[in-house]
Structures are given as C-alpha cells and as structure tokens.
Structure 1
Amino acid sequence: MSIEMITLLFFGSLLLFLVLGLPLTFVLGGVSVVFLYFTWGPDAFYMVASQIWSTMGSFSLVAIPLFVFMAMVLERTGVAKDLYRMMFLWWGGLRGGLAIGTLVICAIFAAMCGISGAAVVAMGTIALPSMLERGYDKRMVLGCINTGGGWGILIPPSILMILYSLITGVSVGQMFAAGVLPGLLLMVLTCAYILIRCYFQPELAPALPKEERASWPEKLKALRAVILPMLIVVMVLGSIIAGITTPTEAAAMGVFGALLSAVVYRKMSWELMRDASIRTFKLTGMIMWILFAAHAFSAAYQSMGAQELFEGWITSIPGGPWAVIITMMVIIFFLAMVLDPVGIMLITLPVFLPVVKAMGFDPVWFGILFVINMEIGYMTPPFGFNLFYLKGVVPPSITMKDIYVSVIPFVLVEIVGIALIMMFPEIATYLPQLFF
C-alpha cells in the first residue's frame, strides 16, 4: 500500500473517532498503536515505551503539577477580589476604565499561574456583575474577560509552553522569556481598542459618577493589593530571568508564593489543600496521558514516512517561505476552533516544525505565534474552553449567543497582534537573545 493511502487511512481514522466524540488522548494513542502494529509489528511497541521512559525522566515535567497546584491555590485566595477593588478605585473614573482594569488583572493573573481558566472564573465572578451594574455593555465585558483569561497560556509561566518545549526540544526558559513582550503587546492593543471604542461610543462603558470616585489617599492605600501578586511574579519570572532558578525550580517558588497568599488572606485550610491537590492530580494525570499519546503518535507518524510526505506538500505552497508560515497560521487557527490545544500540538508540530527550521525561521518565534493561536482557540466558538468557563459563572440573562458574539472584535485585535509579531519578530526574540 502506498504512503499516501496509509496516511489517508491514518488521519481519516483519527478524524472519524474524534467526530464520534471519543477522548482525544485515547484516539491519538489507540489509532497510533494499531497502525504501528500493522506497519512494524509488535517490536514497534518497544520504541514507544523507550520514548515515554526517556520523557518521564525529564526534569521540566515537574513544573507542570507545581504550576497547576499554584493556580488552584491562587483561585481560592482573595487576591483577585483585592486586585479588582484596586483597579476599580484607580480606573473607574475613565470611560472603559473598569474593563481596562480587568484586563490588567488578567495579565497579572497570567504572570502568576500557567493556565487559562483561573482568571476567567475569578473575573467572571467578581468583575462581571460590578461592570454590568454600572451600565457597561454586556458583550464588551464578556469579550474583555474572555480575552484576558486566555493570556494565562501566553504570559509566562505557561504549561502550554512547557509542553511545546518537551515536544520540540526548544528551551523552556527561552519560551518563557519570548512570551513576555507579545503578552504585553496584546494587552496594550486590547486596552487601546477599548479606549478608542469607548471614545466614540461612550454609552458602552460609562465612567463612574464623581461621587463614586476614590480620593488619592484611598487609591494609594489600595495599592497594597498589588504587593503580593507582584511578589509572586518576581519570585517566578524574576528568578528565571536572573538565572537563579530553572523554570522548574521557579514553579516551586511560585507554589510557595501561592501558599503565602493563602496564609495572608486567612484562607489556608486542610480543605483548600485537599481540593487543590485533587484537582491538580486530575489535571496532571490528563496531561501525562496526553504525553503518552504524543509519543505513540510521533512513533507511528515517523515510521509511516508521513512526515516527509507532508513536508513535501507544505514546501510546495506557492509564494515562498512567508506564504508557508501564513498557511500554517490559518490551519492552526481553524484547528484551534474545534480541537484541544495539546492535540493540535501533537498533530501539527511534527509536520510544521522541521519545515519552519528548514526555511530558517526561529522555532521560539514560531512557538509564540503557535501559542497565541492556541489562546485565540480558547476564546472562539464552538469549543473554546473560556466560553464554557464563562458560561458557568454568568447570570442566567446572558446567553451563549452573547458570549459567542462578544469575542469577534477581540479576536480581530489578537490577529493584528499576530501580524505585528510576524512583521517584527524581535518582539518575541529580543528577550530570549538578551537573557539566553
């Protein structure tokens, strides 16, 4: 049987079982194992086991449960509530100020923990009712929280970046450094969009009445809310950039900072520790199964010779290297609407990354573009995780249609951000080159 027919059967089977609703991890692993058996026989299983064994010895993997546990603990402290009150006092007098303050809080949360859902749930619970009560347009508020929550996988630390590094061999530290400036760029672009839109349509996000605005002593006193989050950010990112710790060791420092927050806010209890630990075990277990499936998929993919086939197809795209990169971005963008981000990594990176390297592009820069697309996937219909996180905390009067429609202008802003990073790669590569 020709390689084209085998590849068609392989990916056709994957697609069929995914459409039937089976879990992605078991589809990837199961189909890969079956094709390995019929391609190479029982001996092929030793190759998968050998690859899994070598990955399980990776020190970087330790960071995953630590960052997850850190996020679970921070979600239950009072950090988000105090941060929102501080932003409310400082930004409330500006049109769209509460929305901008919410975006800043989301960026701070992203710099404290490496997952997306924590900021969405926290801001959906705290900021959403406050803004709706003050006459903010519901779709602007929903889109704002949805977008800001997605930065958890872009602004380091990021679990998705750790997985990207494990799959591609790129340095975790370089990926973390590369995510800082693009994350800030997207925050500035989104804030600018809100300011400009509110200038022309002030009814969307009215400023607080003068009697509700804070005095300077109140504003300065409220700044205390930033001290603990900033301490955690410095402990995690500062220690990596300064070369004091590896990303894995920095994750342990982040856990210490999260536990310190729980103590300061008087939320530390056995119940908190138990719930955070159980959720961490569940999420980490899921990630480990995904890694097992990744190795089975990678072994099957390479043994069939499909990698060379796909590389030939991609490099034959007319228009040169930039046309290839843009095509890749479009493919990833649409895949992100329907598939899990880690699944997309497993399916696309073995194909795309050798081509990216062969054309002379920086894999760290490509990784940032990839992660931003995954972030957009978190907020876009029909299966964006943030959409469902948000639906779980909004009032009954807000429909799923409202949540779906709210993301459209914010997705366009994110696409502008991707275009800027493509035109000016230094936005992503400057800090990795400076520190590493």
Structure 2
Amino acid sequence: MSIEMLTLLFFGTLLLFVFLGVPLTFVLGGVSVVFLYFTWGADAFYMVASQIWGTMESSTLVAIPLFVFMAMVLERTGVAKDLYHMMHLWWGGLRGGLAIGTLGICALFAAMCGISGAAVVAMGTIALPSMLERGYDKKLALGVINTGGGWGILIPPSILMILYSLITGVSVGQMFAAGVLPGVLLMVLTVLYIVVRCAFQPNLAPALPKEERGNMAEKMRALRAVILPILIVVMVLGSIIKGITTPTEAAAVGVLGALLSAIVYRKLTWGLMREASLRTFKLTGMIMWILFAAHAFSAAYQSMGAQALIEGVMMSIPGGPWAIIISMMVIVFLLAMVLDPVGIMLITLPVFMPIVQSLGFDPIWFGILFVINMEIGYMTPPFGFNLFYLKGVAPPDVSMRDIYSSVIPFVLVEIVGLALIMIFPEIATYLPKALF
C-alpha cells in the first residue's frame, strides 16, 4: 500500500473513532498500536515501550501532579474572595474598573496555578454576580472572565508547557520564562480594549458609587489579600528564574505555599486534602495515558513514513517559511474549536516540530504561539472548556448563547497579541535568552 493511502487510512480511522465519541487519548494510542503491528510487526511494540520508559525516567513529570495539587488546594482556600474584595475597593471607582481588576486576579491565579479552570470557576462565582448587580454589560463581564481564565496555560507555571516540553524536548524553564512577557502583553491589550470601549460606551461598565469605594484605611487593609498570592508566585517563579530550583522542585515549593495559604485561611482540613488528592490522582492518571498515546502515535507516524509526506505537503505551500507557520497557526486555531488542547498537541506536534526546526524557527517561540492558540481554544465555541466552566457557575439567566457571543471581541484581541509575537519574536525569546 502506498504511503499516501496508508496516511489517509490512518487519519481517517482516527477521525472516525473521534466522531464516534471515543476519548481521543485512547483513539490515538489504540489506532497507533494497531497500525504499528500491521506495518512493523510485534517488534514495534518494543520501540514504543522504550520511548515510554525514557519519558517515565524524566524528573520533569513529577512537576505535573504537584502543580495540579497546588491548584486544587488554592481553589478552595478563599484567596480569590479576598483578592476580589481588594480589587473592588481599589479599582471600582473607574469605568470598567471591576473588569480590569478581575483580569488582574485572573493573571495572579495563572501565575499560581498552572491550569485554566481555577480562575474561571473562582471569578465566575465571585466576580460575575458582583459585576452584573452593579450594571455591567453581561457580555463584557462574561468575556473578561473567559479571557483571563485562559491565561492559566500561558503565564507560568503551566502544565500545558510542561507537556509541550516533554513532547518536543525543549527546556521547561525556558518555556516558563518565554510565557511571562506574552502573558503581560495579552493582559495589557485586553485592559486597553476595556478602557477604550468604556470611554466610548460608559454605560457598559459604570463606576461604583462613592460609598462602595471605601476609604484609604480600608483599601490599605485590603492589600493584605495580595501578600500570600505574591509570596507563592515569588516562591515558584523566583526560585526557577534565579536558578535555585528546577521546575520540579519549584512545584514542591508551590505546594508548600498553597498549604500555608490554606492554614492562614483556616481551610486546611482532611476533607480538603482528600478531595484535592483524588482530583490530582485522576488528572495525573489521564496525563500518563496521554503520554503513552503520544509515543505510540509518534512511533506509528514515523514508521509509516507519513512525516516525510506531510513535510513535503507543508513545504509546498506557496509564500515561503512564514506562510507555512501561518498555515500551522490556522490549522491549530480550527482544531482548538473542536478538540481539547492536549489532543491537539498529540496530533500536531510530531508533524509540526521537525518542519519548524528545519525552517530555522525557534521551537520556544513556536511553543508560545502554540500555547496562545490553545488558550484561544479554551474560550472559543463550540467546545471551549472555559465556556462550560463558566456556564456551570453563572447565574441562571446567563444563557450559553450569551457566553458564546461574549468572546468574539476578546478572541480578536488575543489574535492581535498573537500577531505581534509573530512579528516581534523577541517578546517571547528575550527572557529565555537573558536568563538561560
């Protein structure tokens, strides 16, 4: 059978089982193992086992359950409530101030947690009802929480960046450093969008009445809420950037910070530890299956010779290297509308990375572009995870249609940010080069 027919049959089988509703991880792993057997025979399984064993020896893997556990603990401590109260007092007097403050809290949560759902659930529960009660436009409030929640996978520490590093072989520390300035850029662009829009449409996000803004003494007391979160961020990112710890060791430091927060807020109970541990075990188990599927897929893909075929197709795209990179971004953007980010990584990275490197592009820079696309996928209809997280905690009068339509202007802002990082790669590459 020709390589073209084999590739078509391989991907056609994958799509068939995906549309039948089989979990993507098991589809990739199962179909890949079957194709390996019929192309190389039973000996091919030793190759997969060898690759998996090599990954399992990586100490970087230990960081994943630690960061997940850290997020599970922080989600239940009450940090978000105090942060919102502080932001309410300091920013509420401005038009759009509650929305801007909510973005700030989401960025802080992103720098503590490493996952997307924590900030969306916390702000959807606390900030959304508050903004709606004070006359904020429903779509503006929903869009802000969706956007800010997605930064959890871009602003380090990020579990998706750890998986990217494991699949592609780049440095986790460099990926973390590369995510800082793009995260700041996207936050600044989103804040500017809110400020400009509220200047022209002040009824969208009115300033709070004076009696709700608090006096200076109340504002200063409220600042205590940021001490613990900033301490955790400094403990985690500061220790990595200064070279004191590896990302794995920094994850353990972050868990310590999360447990200290739980003690301070008097939420550290056996019930909290049990629930956080069980959720961590579930997510970690899922990630292990994902890594198995990634190696099986990569082995099957290479054994069929499909990599050379698709490289040839991509290289034939008119317009040169930049046209190829833009085509990759469009493919990932479209996939992100219907598949989960980890599944997209499994399908595309074994195909894209050899091409990216052969074209002379920085894999760290490409990784940031990839992660931003995944972040956009979290907030894009029809299957963006953040959309469903938010629907689960939103008031009953908020419909799925409201949530879908709220993300449109914010997706455009994110695309502008993505374009700026493509035009000026130093936004992503400056810190890794300076620090490592």
> How much does 1:330 deviate?
0.4
Query: Deviation digits for residues 191-245 of structure 1, max 9, x if unmatched?
Result: 1101110010011100001222221121111111100000000000000000000
Whichever residue aligns with residue 222 of structure 2, its letter is A
Query: Deviation digits for residues 361-399 of structure 1, max 9, x if unmatched?
Result: 100000000000000000001110001100100011110
Q: How many residues align?
A: 436
Matched, 1:195 2:165: no
> How much does 1:416 deviate?
0.2
Determine the C-alpha separation between the residues in 1 that align with 2:340 and 2:213. Answer: 43
Partner of 1:363: 363
Determine the C-alpha separation between the residues in 2 that align with 1:57 and 1:339. Answer: 29
Determine the C-alpha separation between the residues in 2 that align with 1:3 and 1:49. Answer: 25
Query: Deviation digits for residues 283-315 of structure 1, max 9, x if unmatched?
Result: 110111111111110100000000011111101
Determine the C-alpha separation between the residues in 1 that align with 2:201 and 2:284. Answer: 45
Q: Map residues 95-244 of structure 1 onto 2, 5 A cutoff.
A: 95-244=95-244
Determine the C-alpha separation between the residues in 2 that align with 1:264 and 1:55. Answer: 38
Unaligned stretches of 5+ residues in structure 1: none
Partner of 1:52: 52
Determine the C-alpha separation between the residues in 2 that align with 1:125 and 1:375. Answer: 21
Determine the C-alpha separation between the residues in 1 that align with 2:168 and 2:270. Answer: 39
> How much does 1:323 deviate?
0.7
Partner of 1:62: 62
Partner of 1:9: 9
Determine the C-alpha separation between the residues in 1 that align with 2:50 and 2:115. Answer: 30
Determine the C-alpha separation between the residues in 2 that align with 1:213 and 1:141. Answer: 19
Q: Deviation above 4 Å: which 4+ runs of structure 1?
A: none
> How much does 1:412 deviate?
0.2
Report the aligned-residue RMSD: 0.5
Whichever residue aligns with residue 417 of structure 2, its letter is G
Unaligned stretches of 5+ residues in structure 2: none
Q: Which TM-score applies when normalising by structure 1?
A: 1.00
Determine the C-alpha separation between the residues in 1 that align with 2:20 and 2:189. Answer: 39
Whichever residue aligns with residue 59 of structure 1, its letter is S
SS at structure 2 position matched to 1:170 = coil
Query: Deviation digits for residues 226-267 of structure 1, max 9, x if unmatched?
Result: 000000000000000000000000000000000000000000
Query: Deviation digits for residues 52-94 of structure 1, max 9, x if unmatched?
Result: 1111111000000000000000000010000000100000000
Partner of 1:294: 294
Determine the C-alpha separation between the residues in 2 that align with 1:342 and 1:433. Answer: 27
Partner of 1:27: 27
Q: Map residues 255-270 of structure 1 onto 2, 5 A cutoff.
A: 255-270=255-270
Q: Map residues 387-406 of structure 1 onto 2, 5 A cutoff.
A: 387-406=387-406
Percent identity, aligned pairs only, is 85
Determine the C-alpha separation between the residues in 1 that align with 2:419 and 2:340. Answer: 23
Determine the C-alpha separation between the residues in 1 that align with 2:349 and 2:26. Answer: 19
Whichever residue aligns with residue 89 of structure 1, its letter is L
Q: Which TM-score applies when normalising by structure 2?
A: 1.00
Determine the C-alpha separation between the residues in 2 that align with 1:196 and 1:384. Answer: 27
SS at structure 1 position matched to 2:179 = helix
